Amino acid sequence: MRVLLKPSAHAVMAIPLALLLFGWAELLFWNPASRALSAEPVAYTHNALGLAALRALVASLAVTPVRLLTGWGRVMTLRRLLGLWAFAYAAMHLLFYLLAELDWSLGALLAETAKRPFILAGMVAGIALLPLAATSTGAAIRRLGAKRWQALHRLAYLAGIAACVHFILRVKGFQWEPWLYLGLLLALFALRLAPRAGLRLRPS
């Protein structure tokens, strides 16, 4: 059981990517009539990568609350892994946007970011994840010192909120789905703050 925790987490995190790759391979190589990626595979891929990033980010932010609630210490070994998957999906989401919508034009990306609040929110989320991915090694923690490293990694909260705002602003009309993610994130934050407020989350 012990050894399987991390590989299982990797496997779960890789599922959306594997499904997308399989869907594109099917479409391009042996079944052009496939609708596995909907009638609009480009939009489907773009949305699926964004959703996978948000889910991985929420999962990584859930690690500490899960430990606080259950006392299961080993879950902490998943925090970096989940955070890096969130970054990887966010990066793929952005690169796919550049490829499919902006013809690799960074100028167009800047223009869209300046013009559209929902793109700005997405860029804030993505940029907030960048230094976290860059300082995800043990060596980086030693170099920064645990305190400063931890302060820096609070950017993950900002990324989560910004990603939810990006999602809320993106959908047409009022839809529950993005608000559910935001609610989940806020609940996770509240669980973290509970011990500081002197609340006990589990009997000791």
Partner 1 sequence: MLIRETPSWALPEREATPEPLYLNRRAVVAGLVAAGALPAAAGTDPGRLARIPARRTRDAGEPPTPLADVAGYNNFYEFGLDKSDPARNAGTLRPSPWTVRIGGLVRKPLTLDVDRYIAKAPFEERIYRFRCVEGWSMVIPWVGVPFASLVRAVEPLGSAKYVAFRTLADPVQMPGLRSPVLDWPYREGLRLDEAMHDLTLLTVGVYGRRLPNQNGAPIRLVVPWKYGFKSVKSVVAIDFVETQPQTSWNMATPREYGFYSNVNPEVDHPRWSQARERRIGEFRRRETLMFNGYPEVASLYAGMDLRRFF
Answer yes or no whether residue 39 interacts with partner 1 by CB under 8 A: yes
Instruction: Return the residue of 11, 43, 95, 187 that touches partner 1, per CB under 8 A.
Output: 43
Output the six-digit token pair for 184: 């989940």
With binding defined as CB under 8 A, does residue 33 bind partner 1?
Answer: yes
**Which one of 35-43, 66-74, 137-145, 196-204 is the stretch in contact with partner 1 (CB under 8 A)?**
35-43
40 is a contact residue toward partner 1 (CB under 8 A): yes
DSSP for residue 153: T
Q: Which of 7, 73, 138, 173 binds partner 1 (CB under 8 A)?
A: 173
Q: Phi then psi for 171, rounded to 5 degrees?
A: -75, 160
State how far the Cα of 144 lies from the Cα of 132, in Å rounded to an integer: 12
Residue 126's Cβ-side half-sphere holds a number of Cα atoms within 13 Å equal to 19
Residues composing the chain = 204
End-to-end CA distance of the chain: 26
Residue among 40 and 190 whose Cβ is closer to partner 1: 40
Q: Which is nearer to partner 1, 95 or 190 (CB)?
A: 95
Residues that bind partner 1 (CB under 8 A): 33, 35, 38-40, 42-43, 100-101, 116-118, 169-170, 172-176
